[in-house]
Amino acid sequence: MILCTDDVNRQVEIFTSNFIKCLDACAPYVTKEIKRPFAP
């Protein structure tokens, strides 16, 4: 928890870590390959 520490840098690390976990759960990064038909 962020309020458990007085170190601002550690608080930012905890916040960033939790934010990225939530973001990955709600909107995961997906890579798609786009295939186009052959154009002569």
Q: Tell me: the pLDDT tens digits for 1-40?
A: 888 899 999 999 999 999 999 999 999 888 999 998 888 7
For the whole model, what pTM was predicted? 0.65
At residue 23, the pLDDT reads 93
At residue 8, the pLDDT reads 95
Residue bearing tokens 């052959």: 38
> Which residues contact residue 2 at a Cβ distance below 8 angstroms, ignoring those fewer than 6 apart?
11, 14, 15
Alpha carbon of residue 2 to chain centroid = 18
At residue 3, the pLDDT reads 87
> Which residues contact residue 1 at a Cβ distance below 8 angstroms, ignoring those fewer than 6 apart?
14
